[in-house]
Structures are given as C-alpha cells and as structure tokens.
Amino acid sequence: MSFSDVSMSTPGPSAPPEDLATFNPGVLLNLLQQQVIQHQDLMTAIQAQQQHQQVLMETFQIHLQNVAAAPNPAPALAPASIITVIANPTAKFPDPMAFTGKPSGVRAYIAEIES
C-alpha cells in the first residue's frame, strides 16, 4: 500500500467540524451572562453571610468582656466541692468470698463476682 492508496475522505485540519457550522455566538454570550449573574448573586450572599458572622463575633466579644468585668458573685451557702484528680485511677473492689470447691457453691460464687 502506498501513500497514494490512502483515502483522503477524512477532513484535514482546515475543514471545520460540523458543530462549528451551527455555532451561534449569541447562545454562548447568553450562557456567560447567566453565569456572571449567578456569580454575582453568590458573591452577594457570601458577603451578607460574612457581615452576619462579623456581627455575631462582635456581640460575642462584648459578652465576654462584660462577663470578665462583672464582679465575682457571692459565695454560695453550701461549701464548694473539691475535685481531686488522680493520675491513674483504678477501681477497688472487695475480695470475693473464698470458693470452697463444692458444686453447690458455684452459683453463689459467680453471682457475687458478677455483682
């Protein structure tokens, strides 16, 4: 097969695709304008949300300043409970009764251990 035998039916780079023959620039422009409007709407919503968050942060900061500036409340009538933190707490249980090895005492022994 030689180069002259190859069919030249496939369009080369100079032939426009069929989609471009029906291309309407107005449709593309309309889609771009719609995307611009959606983008602007989203940006407006984001800015409103940021402003709302800013107001909330300012309100929270004022509240924290007021709490910090408030005088300490009078001590309660009941004594304050003291919490002790133990570094590695372990549960302590009493030793179970000694198992005698009799079959009649198995259920009582197991019940005591489970409780």
DSSP, residue by residue, 42-63: HHHHHHHHHHHHHHHHHHHHHH
Q: Residue 48 domain-assigned?
A: yes
What is the pLDDT at residue 109?
A: 84
The residue assigned the tokens 């198992």 is: 99
> Does any domain span residue 31?
yes
Tens digit of pLDDT at every position of the chain (115 positions): 555 555 555 555 555 556 666 778 888 899 999 999 999 999 999 999 999 999 989 998 898 888 888 776 665 555 666 766 666 667 777 777 777 888 888 888 888 888 7
Check residue 49 and give its pLDDT: 92
| 39 domain residue, yes or no | yes
pLDDT of amino acid 47: 92
3 state SS of 102: coil
Q: Give the pLDDT confidence score for residue 46 in this predicted structure.
A: 92
Total structural domains within the chain: 1
Q: What is the pLDDT of residue 38?
A: 92
Angle at 24 between CA 21 and CA 27, to 5 degrees: 150
Helix (H) or strand (E) holding 107, with range, is helix 106-114
Range of the domain at 57: 24-69
